[in-house]
Structure 1
Amino acid sequence: METSDAMCIRIEEAMVLGRGTRLLAGAMTVVCMVLVGPSAPSGALFVRSLPVHAVRDVVPNRVMTWNICNPCAKNHVDRAAEIATYAPQVIGLQEACVRDVERIRDYLKSLYGLVYHVEYGMVLRNWGRCGGAPWSPGAFGQAVLSAEPMTDRVNVEYPYGGSEDRGYMAVTTKVGGQSVRVFNTHLAHRRQEAVRADQIGVLAADVARHDRAIVLGDFNAVPDAPELTRIWALAADTDPQCHPSPAGTCKPTTDWHSKFDYIFLRGIAPLKHRVQPTPYSDHHLLQTDLDPT
């Protein structure tokens, strides 16, 4: 059965086809409003009102990481609105299903005029998380959306995934007009320190090959966790006050008040960053504006 998000997209597409089809689409408007619910405020079908401070176009030097939470009973209109509020040039998503990312990208374009390319770094097929037919479940893992085209994608599944398959992906794209290698990862669950240490070793070996790199993701570890030592040796957190030592002051990025989400920078300087709690995931939005020079 088609989801409410997908049905709304079909209706929106139908509205541009012809008079007869537009009449049918109009008749379905009420249905779609019920399905989407509070995401469609009065007078703005499908669209959740963006805050006054929301930007209106992609910010070319802004990057974001967000574990969108899966499974979570949230709709993609809300997720798209959260991203559109800040309109980053590059977004790394974790716990993402291909179908979910496709719908989020569709809404970003159709509702907010934000056009993104997408590349996937899927590590498993899981019917419980991503739906689909039992014999053909949806793909689950990471995704990168970029306003600029991406090249040289690699997708690596870690040799040791822990309790669930995990991996990283990497692409080359532009941030602030400058070419940069972007990594997106999701490390093993909490209380699997040894597994994460092995995963960091695999990731760090690839990051070290690049003079300019951005490493996004959910590392499932606090800043002073020993398993993060190798990535700290290569890159700095986007927050200049956040260090892997008791002297560091790191803003939490999860509902349980831990910092698990990072934007590590190698050969790139940050200008400002923001941690934004959201009701649509148990992880906060983490974004940063970069100095591309």
Structure 2
Amino acid sequence: MVFERGTRLLAGAVVVACMVLLGPSAPDGSLSAGPMPVGTARDFVPNRVMTWNICNPCGRGNADRAAEIAELAPQVVGLQEACRRDVERVRDHLENLYGLDYHVEYGTVLQNWGRCGGVPWNPGGYGQAILSAEPMTDHVNVEYPDGGSEDRGFMAVTTLVDDRPVRVFNTHLAQRRQEAVRAEQTAVIAAEIARHDRAIVLGDFNAVPDTPELTPIWALAEDTDPGCRPAQAGACAPTTDWQSKFDYVFLRGVTSLGHRVRQSPHSDHHVLHSDVDVT
């Protein structure tokens, strides 16, 4: 019996090793259908970016979150409603189960035991996070002067996308029915975006495309979906379970090559990812 069990383990190890050697399921790096089996190794897609509000607290497993990210293998991932401990575990799963070794920076805006656990005197950090296949520099974390009903902010880093340096922002604006607060927040982040000729802005803006508070962002950048503009708000694919377009990949000096919105069973927000051309 011990011999048979050892033989099965050896066979499994050989299968995993073959997956590592073969890499992606297709020569062009295109995605295979369905969830990735644990142990499947793949390469980063160097021009792919992704934004996802992972929903916290929602009681979802970090292994499931990692599997969602691994199936797409983006170069850069922006997460919102992210507990630092959860992101650490997601990052570990991505490396240990799928061979995707991400660098991580955090945009913590509050310490919250109710959302992120921990102990009362050392609660978990909550806010945004950016995962990048390449190292990140010039990291800044900014809390908005008024977060609304909960502290909110944005973070920014410089990293490589499509093998070129790009300023990447990640934000989460004030909750719904707080339009005036969001208008103040977009004015703050727009002033920073305007300083860069080339930028990718990821996030949950809690606002549909034709709301006035997004006007400063639209003046600087375009949505990754060329058919999604304020005047065509009804044509924008919804990114939430309540059928609203709240999540964006805004591009400044960067061209969209394609995008996809994919429902996730692990969050009340869908996964939004985009392949881009930075040249």
TM-score under structure 1 length normalisation = 0.82
Is the 8 Å Cα contact of residues 241 and 248 (structure 1) preserved in structure 2?
Answer: no
- Indicate if the aligned counterparts of 1:261 and 1:286 stay in contact, CA closer than 8 A: yes
CA shift at 1:245, angstroms? 1.3
Q: 1:248 deviation in Å? A: 5.7
Matches of 2:233 and 2:215, distance apart in 1: 16
Q: 1:249 aligns with which of 235, 245, 264?
A: 235
Look up the match of 2:12: none
**Rounded Cα–Cα distance in structure 2 between residues aligned with 1:156 and 1:180:** 19
Q: Which runs of 5 or more residues in structure 1 are unaligned?
A: 1-25, 27-47
Q: Find the counterpart in structure 2 of residue 215 from structure 1.
A: 201
Indicate the residue corresponding to 2:4 in structure 1. Answer: none
Deviations 1:178-207 (A, max 9, x none): 100000000000000000000000000000
C-alpha spacing 1:49/1:254, structure 2 compared with 1 (3 Å): closer
1:65-110 C-alpha deviation (Å, 9 max, x unpaired): 0000000011001000000000000000000011000000000000
> Given that residues 221 and 252 in structure 2 are in contact (C-alpha distance below 8 angstroms), is that contact kept between their aligned partners in structure 1?
yes
Deviations 1:41-61 (A, max 9, x none): xxxxxxx9518xx99211000
Residue equivalent to 1:10: none
Q: Which residue of 2 aligns with 1:31?
A: none
Quickly say closer, same or farther: Cα 1:255–1:247, change in 2 above 3 A: closer
Percent identity over the alignment is 73
- 1:66-85 alignment to 2 at 5 Å? 66-85=52-71
| From 136, 146, 149, the counterpart of 1:163 | 149
**Structure-2 separation of matches of 1:219 and 1:231:** 11
For 2:84 and 2:45, the matched residues in 1 are separated by 25
Query: Would you say 1:116 and 2:90 are equivalent positions?
Result: no
CA distance in 2, matches of 1:122, 1:246: 34
Aligned alpha-carbon RMSD (Å) = 1.6
TM-score by length of 2: 0.86
Report the residue type matching 2:102 in the other structure: Y
* Count, aligned residues: 245
Shift of 1:292: 2.0
Match runs of 1:35-50 below 5 Å: 49-50=35-36
1:105-254 equivalent positions in 2, closer than 5 A? 105-246=91-232, 249-254=235-240
